[in-house]
A and B are shown apart, each in its own frame.
Chain A
Amino acid sequence: MSLSDLYTIPSSSSWFRWDEIHDEERRSLPEFFSGSAFSRNPRVYREYRDFIINRFREDPSRRLTFTEVRRSLVGDVGLLRKVFQFLDRWGLINFGVPGGESEEVGAGASAAVVVEDGAPAGVKVVPAASAAASERGTVGGGGGENGFRLPPLTSYRDVFIDEMPGKGPLCGNCGGDCDSGESKSSKGGYSMCTKCSEKKNNTEEKTTDDLKVNNHGDGNEDQVSNTWTDAESLLLLEAVLKHGDDWDLIAQHVRSKTKLECIAHLIHLPFGEHMLGPTSSKLDNRQPSSEVTQVKAAKSPVTELSEESIKAVGEQHIDTDEQEKAVDVSSPAHALKRRRFTSFSDATDSLMKQVALLSTVAGPQVAAAAAESAVAALCHENPCALKAFEIDQDEVAKFGSHIMKDELESELKVEGQDLKEHRKRVGMKELYPEKNFGAATFQIRASVATSIGAAAARAKLLADQEEREMELLMASIIEMQLKKIRSKMKHFQELELIMEKEYAQIQHLKESILEEWVRILQQAFHSGIPRWRDSGLPKFLPNANM
């Protein structure tokens, strides 16, 4: 049966198939499968079931009633009611239609969505369109208690915009209740609990303008009034050029907008990225190597860094404390924006780029640990390498520890540099310690170590993935076996049914033969034949009686 439309059913009912009868159905409605009555057999059950479900799906937004169904089906109403209730209980009909026995709340085909405060935790309100994305609406087949949990869509707000006001604040992302203290559901907007919004900020920048976190509440609440005038945009750009990443200062400069709005708007400007680009790359240079995790570092070619960084270092000497402070303040906001993973295909052939990228993927701690162990292993393997590494073994170790942002002070002492003002610069200096060692040698060694480490980390990832795939395959094998067994069971059950039917027929036949015998005997008596001369017949009777 091919259905052009998709329907929403609860994930717990994903067993349902048009073309077969599931064990659950056999268990719940045994009267159809015991073969005890002529009017109750599996075929009749399937016709009942299919008719009722099809009937419901003619108009899924309307509640189908039993009284309506029994009008068009031939059969015992008690039995029909059982089938109907079974389908209703499993949500195969009347799912998501408001006003039922089950207090399920969902979305119908139309946009009429009812959001209730006391909706059961298991049921999430889901826009029908997105639910239909998966086949027959089963989302996450194994989903237990949680039912649907779909990623928030950009259209989410549009769908729920009318229903949200006045209702309890529900986090659009995780579905949980927001603490009103942390984040308020803004009027007609889309609210999130702070936990989610943090997460989301990291991963997704696009929806930043959809977010309205509490601290922008003093401004105009409506999305409509969030439009930026050209003058304001100009002010913003000016401020960005002047203050870099210090959003507090920028907001002050723009005045009419809050910090968040400024950030959001800048992101949306077509050239916003480039505006932030130079400043942030500089920032990266200045920050400890742990900041390499921010992909921006990978983006700005590391090979070019040497020149640029020298400049940067030079600038840093001149830089005032104010600039320092700016870095500190802006770094969280900056991190929010920068944290994005570019794909591997973006990377060019440069080894350094690869290293940076790989270590980004693996994470700073992993990369550091990998680098250390890689170096150690190399030394162990090859005495030459050992010799080579021996010289600056401690340096490499320091490099690794640097990645972890620790013990920066000691590093500074060893380097003997005069740039002790701030720990954030140490990474930079450490990467380019021109004064103590040849920059090139150190770079090459460091890069080799890190690349090996990163490669190891990546290998680990790949191994993990392989393992998962193996598990998946195993699971599918088991499932196939189960299916096989199930189909065998079904076959046997059918056989059993046939046997029982035949047994019934034989029984019936026996009875009628017995009846026939009695009748013949009676007729014989009536017609005056005194006795059976043939003694074989009466003997036969007891046999038939069995």
Chain B
Amino acid sequence: MKFHPPNSSKVPIKFRLPTAENLVPIRLDIEVDGQRLKDAFTWNVNDPDSEVVNFAKRTVKDLKLPPSFITQITQSVQSQLAEFRSFEGQDMQNKEKIVALKLDLRVSNTVIRDQFLWDVSNLESDPEEFARTFCKDMNIGDPEVAPAIAVSIREQLYKIAVQNVSSAREYRMGKKGRRGLENVPNSKSGNGALDLVKLFGIKGSIVRKRKEWYLYEPIVDILSNEEVEALDAREERNSRLKKKLEEKEENL
């Protein structure tokens, strides 16, 4: 008989991604001399920082990019890692919470749109495995799709983990003035979190209503090359527009 308090998940834990492996999602978007590098991958926080430079060198060599990319990549990765580390050591609320995650991404010719529920308090979850299963079930042959899905999931989990840190902070602050502590996380994390009592209580049904199925059904589109080019051009335009706006703001 184990008699540890069953609500141990309520006890705050130190910040980390709520997954089995504490991998940080990293996104690169670098432009040097008209050449652009866009990439997304995961990085193990426990790896030494010297590895980042090696990684950058390797990437530049493999992709035949000019050497000026090396410092850019290193800087970008390190700043993202630093941001992640800034949360480490802080308390994070880890209450049982199931959130709807959304996928909306394009990897070369494949467009994926999907929505599913994720238990953000489960520290054993495995986005990579989920992504692999997804690709197998949907017959996606492109080997880049699964990592992209996993990164997208991790980014969302990262965001939620950061939220949990701030809610844990508020919890501590809230001890002073506010009453009804239970209401705090609920009002705060109302975005996407599900009402567990309603769904998993005695009256709830875990079988989703048929009319809601389409919401949680993955949509996979394979685009033709022309469509991909059109999309690329549009994105390029948008990003340039954005840049100009930013520059304007800076000038102002």
- The 8 Å CB contact of A74, one of B8, B117, B121, is B117
- Which residues of chain B from 57 to 105 have any CB-CB distance to chain A below 8 Å in the complex? 96, 98
Query: Which A468-513 residues have C-beta < 8 A from chain B?
Result: 496, 500-501, 503-504, 507-508
Q: Could you tell me if A78 and B122 are in contact, using CB atoms closer than 8 angstroms?
A: yes
A75/B117 in contact, CB under 8 A? yes
**With known contacts A67-B138, A71-B216, A75-B117, A81–B130 Cβ distance under 8 A:** yes
Contacts of A73 on B, CB cut-off 8 Å?
A: 206-208
Q: Establish whether residues B3 and A503, one from each chain, have CB atoms under 8 Å apart when the complex forms.
A: yes
Smallest Cβ distance from B4 to chain A, in angstroms?
A: 9
A141 to chain B, nearest CB (A): 31
Interchain CB contact under 8 A, B125 and A78: yes
Nearest-CB residue, chain A, relative to B124:
A78
Q: Which of B24-32, B193-201, B224-232, B234-242 contacts A (4 or more CB under 8 A)?
A: B193-201
- State whether A79 touches B206 (Cβ < 8 A): no
Give Cα A39 to B216, complex, Å: 19
Contacts of B207 in A (CB 8 A): 47, 51, 72-74
A90 — which chain B residues lie within 8 A by C-beta?
Answer: none
**A-side contacts of B130, CB under 8 Å:** 77-78, 81
- Residues of chain A from 30 to 48 with CB closer than 8 A to chain B in the complex: 34-39, 41, 43-44, 47-48
A interface SS class: helix
Minimum CB–CB distance for B64 against chain A, Å:
37
The answer to whether residues A500 and B6 also contact, given A70-B116, A515-B181, A519-B179 and a CB cut-off of 8 A, is yes
Kindly state the interface size class of chain A when it binds its partner.
Answer: 35 or more
Chain A contacts for B98, CB-based, 8 A: 39, 75-76
Alpha-carbon distance between A103 and B5 when the two chains are bound, in angstroms:
44
| Complexed CA–CA distance, A67 and B6 (Å) | 31
Whether B7 lies near A71 (C-beta < 8 A) is no
Instruction: From B116, B124, B126, B196, give the contact of A38 (CB < 8 A).
Output: B196
Q: Interface 1/0s, chain A 55-84, versus B by CB < 8 A?
A: 000000000011110111111111101000
A44: B residues at CB distance < 8 A: 200, 206
Report the minimal beta-carbon distance from B99 to chain A, rounded to whole angstroms. 9
| Chain B residues whose C-beta falls within 8 Å of the C-beta of A41 in the assembled complex | 200
Interface residues on B, range: 35 or more
Contact B206 A48 (CB under 8 A): yes
Please give me the residue from chain A that is nearest to B178 by CB atom: A519
- Given the known A-B contacts A37-B96, A66-B137, A78-B122, are A503 and B5 also in contact in the complex, defined by CB atoms under 8 Å? yes
Q: Are B7 and A508 in contact (CB under 8 A)?
A: yes
Q: B186 to chain A: which residues have CB within 8 Å?
A: none
* Residues in A neighbouring B202, C-beta threshold 8 A: 43
| Interface hits, B104-145 → A, CB 8 Å | 116-119, 121-122, 124-126, 129-130, 133-134, 136-138
B54 interface residue per 8 A CB criterion: no
Whether the Cβ atoms of B206 and A47 lie closer than 8 Å is: yes
Instruction: Determine how close the nearest CB of chain B comes to the CB of A68; give it in whole angstroms.
Output: 7
Contacts of A77 in B (CB 8 A): 116-118, 130
| Complex interface: chain B residues within 8 A of A508 (CB) | 7
| Pair B217/A71 contact, Cβ less than 8 Å | yes
Question: Which A residues lie within 8 Å of B194 (CB)?
Answer: 74
A residues less than 8 Å from B8 (CB atoms): 36
Which residue of chain B has the shortest Cβ distance to A55 in the bound complex? B207
B1 lies within 8 A of A39 (CB) = no
Q: Are B118 and A76 in contact (CB under 8 A)?
A: yes
Are A39 and B208 touching (Cβ within 8 A)? no
Interface positions, chain A 65-109, Cβ under 8 Å from B, are 65-68, 70-79, 81
Interface string of A370-384 (1 = CB under 8 A from B): 000000000000000
Q: Are A75 and B206 in contact (CB under 8 A)?
A: yes
Nearest residue in B to A504 (C-beta to C-beta)?
Answer: B6
Is B9 interfacial (CB-CB < 8 Å)?
yes
Instruction: Return the chain B residue nearest A40 by Cβ.
Output: B200
Which 7 A/B pairs are nearest by Cβ-Cβ distance?
A76-B119, A65-B137, A67-B137, A78-B125, A39-B200, A504-B6, A77-B116
Question: 1/0 per residue A413-457: CB within 8 Å of B?
Answer: 000000000000000000000000000000000000000000000
A507 touches B5 (CB 8 A): yes
Minimum CB–CB distance for A339 against chain B, Å: 55
Contacts of A507 in B (CB 8 A): 5, 7
Residues of B within 8 A of A51 (CB): 206-207
User: In the bound complex, what is the Cα–Cα distance between A388 and B134 (angstroms)?
Assistant: 91
Contacts of A500 in B (CB 8 A): 3, 6
The answer to whether B218 has its CB under 8 Å from any CB of chain A is yes
User: Which residues on the A side are within 8 Å of B205 (C-beta)?
Assistant: 47, 74
Could you give 18 example pairs across A and B, Cβ below 8 Å? A37-B121, A38-B96, A38-B197, A47-B205, A65-B137, A67-B138, A71-B213, A72-B207, A72-B213, A72-B216, A73-B207, A74-B117, A74-B206, A75-B98, A77-B118, A78-B125, A500-B3, A504-B7
Among B6, B125, B202, B213, residue most surrounded by chain A Cβ atoms (within 10 Å): B6
Q: Check if A38 sits within 8 Å of B6, measured CB to CB.
A: no
The answer to whether B196 and A76 have CB atoms under 8 Å apart is no
Interchain nearest-CB distance for A35 vs B (Å): 6
Chain A residue nearest in CB terms to B101:
A77
Q: Which of B8, B96, B200, B206 has the most CB of A within 10 A?
A: B206
Q: Are B6 and A39 in contact (CB under 8 A)?
A: no
Docked CA distance A108–B206 (Å): 29
